Amino acid sequence: MSLETPGVQTFRPQAFHRQAHDALGNPQIRANFRGAMDGLMGKRREAFADWELERLRELGASVRLRALAQLPTLLERLEANCQANGIRVHWAEDGEAACRLIRELCEARGAKAVIKGKSMVTEEMHLNAHLEAAGIEALESDLGEYLVQLNDQTPSHIIMPAIHLNTDEIADVMHDKTGIPRTRDVDAMTAAARAQLRERFMAADVGITGVNFAVAETGTLCLVENEGNGRMTTTVPPVHIAVTGIEKVVEQLRDVAPLYALLTRSATGQHATTYLNMISGPRKSDEQDGPEEVHLVLVDNGRSAIYQDDELLDTLRCIRCGACMNHCPVYTRVGGHSYGTTYPGPIGSILMPHLMGLEATKDLPTASSLCGACGEVCPVKIPIPDLLTRLRREAVGEGRGNVPGAGSKRTRTEAAAWKAWQWLATHPAAWRGAAGVAGRLGSLTPSRLGPWSDHRVAPKPARHSLHALIKRHRSTTDEEGQS
């Protein structure tokens, strides 16, 4: 990535194995994630207990599919209706263009201080680093994001950015970085952060947030949040800049209801969040508060390339609830930072290869046992395991070749091994012969089998294969039949 803030702890997808190794060996990280994910899974289960979940997921999926099916038209309608509401709409082809655009909007207002609501798309484009390089301070106001920023880290979860920290670690951050007396009292720390942030809201020149749903029909920007920081960010500073990936558009206002019901329950197990902001324009002449200017920045950053492929476009259904990572046995054990990408976990493993290329992210699509837990809980029914498999094909050059870095994981050795396997498995006599040889060598086969046997006893080929056993079984049952 071109821009990284100096001092910020960096993780890279190329180093997945090492980062995962470190996380697996860190009892604190293991305990923090296991505990948090168990809690989130339990809350989600309870939240959906009284619902016909399958029908709701079907509805959610169909809303998203309907929006994606007419994406270009809906984006134009969104632009027109936002403009009619007084929201200025900007288009950015990639993250760099979006950063430049946002910086220029800030500079036009002479802004020095920006307050931010939670936005993963701005993490994706490293907006904070970009603004800071231009002398504009960008402060995160979501409590988790605030902690992560204070701690010179990046989010480890898309909904709960500081989930990798426990209370003691947060107490350290709050004490060391903000100077409050050291306390483990969560309410006291929250109150301190609230007071600290309150001043910054008042002093901010610009508020920047993400968008959960952008409604084409009405030109409405929906922002789902719990802490009120989203409401503050979008109402206190004189300028509000909303930033979103182009896929977040929905057709109609009524589409928001099922998606919102699915989002909050899937993410945190809440029936509703504390705040659901529906922003439909700047302050009107007869209104007391609200920003003078509202901007919407629509960011492509690789999404229209994903959209070109009728299978991969399912990736764009995502409503960023994080349920896939909460339920992922791999994410639960290695944590979010191991992935080294903005979006970790299953959704990251199907999205990031498009944004960063398969060469850099080649270990992510394989970092799944294809257990299907992600696909099972996805509120919009993204077939995540199928997409992981598809990206594995692309990585070894047996897909459609339309993902950046396609084929970069193919090695001559592995390809040859699979060809040899193919030959054996399509020559039954040779297969049976090989099984027979393996069986006879059973006791001679190595008891060490690479990393497998570091933790498990190596399996021994059976002395007689099933082919052989059934043959023998047939001859005995035939004899019985004859006698």
Partner 1 sequence: MTPIKCYPPKPPRVYLFGTCLVDLFFPEAGLDAVRLLEREGIAVDFPEDQTCCGQPAYTSGYQDEARAVAAAQLDLFPEPWPIVVPSGSCGGMLRHHYPKLFAGTPLEAKANELAGRVFELTEFLVHVCHLELEDRGAPETVAMHTSCSARREMGLAETGPALLARLGRVTLVEQERAAECCGFGGTFAVRHPEVSAAMVEDKSRAIEAAGAERFVTSDCGCLMNIAGRLAHRDSSVEGEHIASYLWRRVGK
**Dist CA 456 CA 86 (whole Å):** 64
Among the residue ranges 111-119, 183-191, 260-268, 394-402, the one whose residues contact partner 1 (CB under 8 A): 394-402
Burial environment of residue 338 by CB neighbours within 10 A (0 to 12, 13 to 18, 19 or more): buried
Q: How far is the CB of 160 from partner 1 (least distance, A)?
A: 20
Please classify residue 341 by burial: count the beta carbons closer than 10 Å to its beta carbon, then call 0-12 exposed, 13-18 middle and 19+ buried.
Answer: buried
416 binds partner 1 (CB under 8 A): no
Q: Which of 6, 179, 451, 481 binds partner 1 (CB under 8 A)?
A: 451
Closer of 19 and 229 to partner 1 (Cβ): 19
| Residue number, 80 or 425, with CB nearest to partner 1 | 425
By CB under 8 A, residue 447 contacts partner 1: no
The smaller minimum CB distance to partner 1, of residues 290 and 372, is found at 372
* Cβ-based nearer residue to partner 1, 199 or 480: 480
Residues 1-40 that bind partner 1 (CB under 8 A): 17, 20-21, 24
Q: Which two tokens stand for residue 408?
A: 């970069």
Q: Which is nearer to partner 1, 237 or 375 (CB)?
A: 375
The pattern of x and - marking residues 210 through 249 that bind partner 1 according to CB under 8 A reads: ----------------------------------------
* Helices of type H across 357-465: 358-361, 373-377, 384-395, 412-425, 428-440, 452-455
Q: Of the candidates 59, 222, 263, 373, which one interacts with partner 1 according to CB under 8 A?
A: 373
Query: Applying CB under 8 A, which of residues 7, 27, 181, 450 lies at the interface with partner 1?
Result: 450
Work out how close the CB of 363 gets to partner 1 at its nearest, in angstroms, rounded to a whole number: 8
Question: DSSP secondary-structure letter at 451?
Answer: B
Nearer to partner 1, 72 or 329 (CB): 329
Q: What are phi and psi of 207, to 5 degrees?
A: -110, 135
Q: Between residues 54 and 172, which has the closer beta carbon with respect to partner 1?
A: 54
Token pair 């054996």: residue:
424
User: Which residue intervals of 27-94 are DSSP H helices?
Assistant: 27-47, 53-69, 71-84
Minimum distance, C-beta of residue 309 to partner 1, in the bound complex (Å): 15
Q: Which is nearer to partner 1, 135 or 433 (CB)?
A: 433
d(CA 196, CA 145): 14
Tell me the two tokens of residue 242: 């909303």
Residue 393 sits in the site that holds partner 1 (CB under 8 A): yes
Could you count the other beta carbons within 10 Å of the beta carbon of residue 62?
14
- Mask of contacts with partner 1, 191-210, x by CB under 8 A? --------------------
Q: Quick one: which segment of 150-158, 213-221, 239-247, 417-425 binds partner 1 (CB under 8 A)?
A: 417-425
Which of 182, 452, 475, 478 touches partner 1 (CB under 8 A)? 452
CB 246 within 8 A of CB 71: yes
- Beta carbons of 248 and 212 less than 8 angstroms apart: yes
For 32, the token pair is 């923090």
Please say which residue, 132 or 359, places its beta carbon nearer to partner 1: 359
Contact by Cβ (8 Å): 244, 210 = yes
Q: Is 134 in the site for partner 1 (CB under 8 A)?
A: no
Q: Are 335 and 156 in contact (CB under 8 A)?
A: yes
The site that binds partner 1 (CB under 8 A) totals a number of residues, namely: 68
Among 4, 31, 39, 54, binds partner 1 (CB under 8 A): 54
Query: How far apart, in Å, are the Cα atoms of 164 and each of 12, 124, 249, 303, 448?
Result: 17, 19, 31, 29, 36
21 vs 198, beta carbon nearer partner 1: 21
Rounded to an integer, what distance in angstroms lies between the CA atom of residue 333 and that of residue 30? 6
Smallest gap, in angstroms, from Cβ of residue 322 to partner 1? 18
Is residue 401 near partner 1 by the rule CB under 8 A?
Answer: no
Q: Which residues contact 142 (CB under 8 A, 6 or more apart)?
A: 116, 117, 118, 161, 225, 227, 229, 230
Annotate each residue in 419-438 with x if it binds partner 1 (CB under 8 A) or - if it does not, as one string.
Answer: x-xx-xxx-x--xx--x--x
Dump strand ranges (E) for 99-251.
Answer: 113-116, 137-140, 206-209, 213-215, 220-225, 239-245, 249-250
Q: How far apart are CA 416 and CA 439, in angstroms?
A: 24
Helix (H) or strand (E) holding 279: strand 275-279
Is residue 318 part of the contact set for partner 1 (CB under 8 A)? no
Which residue in 190, 226, 270, 389 binds partner 1 (CB under 8 A)? 389
- Give the DSSP letter of residue 239: E
CB-CB contact of 204 with 288 (8 Å): no
Residues from 56 through 85 that contact partner 1 (CB under 8 A): 58
Nearer to partner 1, 61 or 211 (CB): 61
Rule CB under 8 A: say whether 473 interacts with partner 1.
yes
Residues that bind partner 1 (CB under 8 A): 17, 20-21, 24, 54, 58, 329-330, 333-334, 363, 366-373, 375-376, 386, 389, 392-396, 398-399, 409, 414-415, 418-419, 421-422, 424-426, 428, 431-432, 435, 438-439, 450-462, 464-470, 473, 477
